[in-house]
Amino acid sequence: MKKILSIVIVLALTAFASLAVVTNASAEEFKMTGTISKIELAADGKAATVVLKDTKSEASVTVIVSDELTLDKFKDKRIVEGDEIRTKYDSEGGKNTSKMFKKTAGC
Amino acid sequence: MWGKNVVIVMGCILLAATVNAKEHPGKEQILKNGYHGPKTCEECHPGKAKEFLGTVHWKHASKVDHVDNLDPNEEHGMKNRIYTMCNGNDIVNNLKEVPPNALGKTKFTGCNSCHPGDHASDVGSTGAAAEQAIDCLICHSLKYDFSKRKAVKDSSGKVVMTQDRSTEAAANIGRPTIKNCMACHEAAGGGAMIKRGFSMAKGAEVHVTKGIICVDCHQVKNHKFPTGRDPNNWAHDGIYMTCVGECHTIKPHTDADYNRHTDKIACQSCHIPKTGGAFSKDFTKWEKQGNGFYEPSTLKREVNETAPVYAWYNLTVSNTPKFIGPKGSRTDGKSKIYPFKVFQGKAYYNKKDGKLMSMDFAPPIANGDSLAGVASAAKILGIKDYEPVPGWQTIYFGSNHQVTPKNKALSCANCHALNGVLNFKELGYSVKEVERLTNPELYFEKLLKLQQENE
């Protein structure tokens, strides 16, 4: 009985690990340059939902930004709607999570 | 010694926290009367506007006596210098509206877009109008609305920079925060953290993690900023700073072996092991962006991805058309080994005199034509006899920020192992000396003991 239980547990763990790997592998990285059409800060200020218009395809892409430095730039309007942004984000399960979010030019 | 350092650091943090928490006097008066630019500030700080006009932040230049091949009687700085990190400068790449690109789009751009005036009173301007054009709040307000600072055309068609002169911004003033400084300083050289490639975020810089801000170290006197000695930081307010002072002593380690190094090794060499940003640019080849504008092609890394090169530096600078970097040697009695980010940039040289030429970015931003940018800059500068030929310049940028926590600083084996970061031969040591300097006998027992303590 114990042996069967062990086998079941091992199989269950293997299946779980495989699923985890599959889930992880399904997150795809994208890069884009786009113009911000909307910034919506969460009430707790710990994330922002940003809608960007892709400069190439003109498609709208929604990205979740949660890094402190960029959020701070939204709050004091160093980055505002209309600014052009270069971003890298992970897309997983229909949710795009920003990994890099910078204005395109410096001077 | 350790205890003393802790007390000093805690003192700095407490001081910073106290000063930050303290409300600037006069808030009620500002709320009642509104903010009317520098003249409001001058009600309590008379003479400060005029004083500010004499600083590098306003002039973008100063007399320079530590750099080769510069006229010591002239002023030099981003106002007028030519090199390949920024192939333009305030003069040739003056803030302007670029011509329409192929998509019919245009935009405002210029090296002096970070100048804290209104562009009508520009870099180095003087007089009453200039005094009233100063954007005091961009440095001093904790609630500056940066969306209000932008280039626009005024009613006469002249390009001017607007400012946030709201009562709210003025009522929330104090010492400049890291954000105030980095609003301009992180964007230099063509994008966020491109030029010097360091982050001043908590976790990235040990001082910031401890609550220390830029102006705790760059202790300003009468709007004059002490600077370090980056070979590319030519303009200065006449005051310099080092790590040694209020917070750190000349022998700051509890370990005597480390302290023996401080005569010849700059603090930065061990405590700033990585920086990042651009390591190469080609101003002869502009890349088309998704928005139809062009940018100089740039190779770059994240802020902690570039290992420095190490060189002797006696705080004087070699400046030739092909090289800008540290002067110094093992034997001159003045040099220490410092870390540098090596940058290589390609731009046009004048075949007629071998000098590096500068570029007005407006034409290539619009259509990628870099030679049109050179022609425009030459016209602005009155250079008629030229033949542009591409060439490379090597530049050493000082690694002076992004100090790592001490447990991540370089230790004995990082330099003294055979594959260590220091190239002792290049640094002027003989074969016999290199053998001695890379012998594990130097560090084995010490590191073994440390390893045992940590296991």
What pLDDT does B1 receive? 42
C-beta of residue B362 within 8 angstroms of C-beta of residue B373: yes
What pLDDT does B193 receive? 86
- Enumerate chain B positions whose Cβ falls within 8 A of a Cβ in A: 86, 93, 109-111, 113-114, 143-148, 179, 183, 187-192, 194, 201, 289-291, 295
**Which whole number is the average pLDDT over A77-81?**
93
What pLDDT does B175 receive? 95
**Which whole number is the average pLDDT over B420-448?**
96
Q: Is the pLDDT of residue A19 over 50?
A: no
Q: Is the pLDDT of residue B16 over 50?
A: no
More confident call, B12 vs B347:
B347
Residue in A32, A78, A105 closest to B191 by CB: A105
What pLDDT does B153 receive? 96
Share of chain B above pLDDT 90, in %: 90
**Which whole number is the average pLDDT over B266-281?**
96
| B190–A55 CB contact, under 8 Å | no
Q: Which of B111, B138, B179, B287 to mutate to test the interface with A (most CBs of A within 10 A)?
A: B179
Chain mean position to CA A44:
18
C-beta of residue B104 within 8 angstroms of C-beta of residue B148: no
What ipTM score was computed for the predicted complex, to two decimals?
0.76
User: Using a CB-CB distance cutoff of 8 angstroms, which residues of chain B are in contact with residue A77?
Assistant: 145-148
- Enumerate chain A positions whose Cβ falls within 8 A of a Cβ in B: 32-35, 54-56, 68-69, 72, 76-78, 80, 84, 102-107
User: Using a CB-CB distance cutoff of 8 angstroms, which residues of chain A are in contact with residue B295?
Assistant: 104-105
Digit-coded pLDDT (tens) for A24-53: 456 899 999 999 999 999 999 999 999 999
Dihedral (C-alpha) B182, B165, B98, B357: value to the nearest 10 degrees?
Answer: -50
Q: Is B9 left (phi over 0), alpha (psi -120 to 50) or beta?
A: alpha
Residue B269 corresponds to which tokens in the numbers above? 């060499």
Task: State how far residue A66 is from chain B, nearest Cα, in angstroms.
Answer: 15
pLDDT band at B291 (very low <50, low <70, confident <90, very high): confident
What pLDDT does B192 receive? 85
What pLDDT does A104 receive? 82
Digit-coded pLDDT (tens) for B190-211: 888 889 899 999 889 999 999 9
pLDDT band at A8 (very low <50, low <70, confident <90, very high): low
User: Using a CB-CB distance cutoff of 8 angstroms, which residues of chain B are in contact with residue A107?
Assistant: 86, 93, 109-111, 113-114, 187-190
Q: Is the pLDDT of residue A21 over 80?
A: no
Q: Is B425 exposed, middle or buried (0-12, 13-18, 19+ CB in 10 A)?
A: exposed
User: Using a CB-CB distance cutoff of 8 angstroms, which residues of chain B are in contact with residue A34?
Assistant: 290
User: Using a CB-CB distance cutoff of 8 angstroms, which residues of chain B are in contact with residue A72?
Assistant: 179
Q: Is the pLDDT of residue A16 over 60?
A: no
Residue B282 corresponds to which tokens in the numbers above? 């080609």
Q: Is the pLDDT of residue B2 over 60?
A: no
Residue B8 corresponds to which tokens in the numbers above? 């000093």
What pLDDT does A22 receive? 45
What pLDDT does B245 receive? 86
User: Using a CB-CB distance cutoff of 8 angstroms, which residues of chain B are in contact with residue A78?
Assistant: 146, 183
More confident call, A18 vs B363:
B363
Task: State how far residue B200 is from chain A, nearest Cα, in angstroms.
Answer: 10
What pLDDT does B237 receive? 97
Q: Is the pLDDT of residue B21 over 60?
A: no
A 10 A CB-CB count for B142 gives 18
What pLDDT does A55 receive? 86
C-beta of residue A66 within 8 angstroms of C-beta of residue A97: yes
**Which whole number is the average pLDDT over B363-369?**
97
What pLDDT does A25 receive? 52
Digit-coded pLDDT (tens) for B203-248: 899 999 999 999 999 999 999 999 999 999 999 999 999 999 888 9
What pLDDT does B188 receive? 87
Residue in A69, A76, A84 closest to B146 by CB: A76
| A106–B192 CB contact, under 8 Å | yes
Cβ burial B333-345 (10 Å sphere, 16+ → b, else e): eebbbbbbbbbeb
Task: State how far residue A90 is from chain B, nearest Cα, in angstroms.
Answer: 18
Q: Which of B289, B301, B358 to mutate to test the interface with A (most CBs of A within 10 A)?
A: B289
Residue B437 corresponds to which tokens in the numbers above? 């300097």
Output the DSSP codes for A27-91: -EEEEEEEEEEEEEE-TTSS-EEEEEEETTT--EEEEEE--HHHHHHHHTTSS-TT-EEEEEEEE
| B190–A84 CB contact, under 8 Å | no
| A76–B144 CB contact, under 8 Å | yes
Q: In terms of CA atoms, which chain A residue is nearest residue B194?
A: A106
pLDDT band at B187 (very low <50, low <70, confident <90, very high): confident
- Tell me how far apart the alpha carbons of residues B307 and B298 are, in angstroms, rounded to a whole number: 18
Q: Is the pLDDT of residue B189 over 80?
A: yes
What is the rounded average pLDDT for all residues in chain B?
Answer: 93
Task: State how far residue A23 is from chain B, nearest Cα, in angstroms.
Answer: 27
Q: Is the pLDDT of residue A4 over 70?
A: no
**Which whole number is the average pLDDT over B49-69?**
98
Place of tokens 């259509």: B367
C-beta of residue A71 within 8 angstroms of C-beta of residue A45: yes
Q: Work out how many CB contacts closer than 8 A connect A with B.
A: 59
Q: Is the pLDDT of residue A10 over 60?
A: no
Q: In terms of CA atoms, which chain B residue is nearest residue A32?
A: B290
Domains recognised in chain A with CATH numbers: 28-103 (2.40.50.140)
Task: State how far residue B125 is from chain A, nearest Cα, in angstroms.
Answer: 20
Place of tokens 């090596």: B342
